[in-house]
Homo-oligomer: A and B are copies of this chain.
Amino acid sequence: MNTAKPFARSPCAIANSLDILGDKWSLLVVRDLLHGKSTYGELALSPERIPTNILADRLERLQSAGIVTRTPYQQRPVRYSYTLTPKGSALGEVLLAFVRWGKQHIPGTITLKQGPAGGEVAVSAANSRRRRTKRVG
Contact = CB atoms under 8 A, between A and B. Distances in A.
A119 to B, nearest CB: 13
- Copies of this chain in its oligomeric complex: 2
B94 A97 contact: yes
B13 A19 contact: no
5 contacts: A5-B108, A10-B47, A12-B47, A14-B28, A94-B94
B27 A18 contact: yes
A24 B24 contact: no
A102 B46 CA distance: 27
Interface residues of A, number: 61
A5, A7, A24, A25: residue with the most chain B Cβ atoms closer than 10 Å = A24
Contact of A136 (B17, B93, B108): B93
B95 A11 contact: no
Given A23-B23, A93-B100, A87 B105 contact: yes
Nearest to A13: B102
Given A5-B108, A10-B112, A109-B11, A17 B91 contact: no
A39 interface: no
Contact of A10 (B48, B96, B103): B48
Contacts of A102: 12-14, 16-17
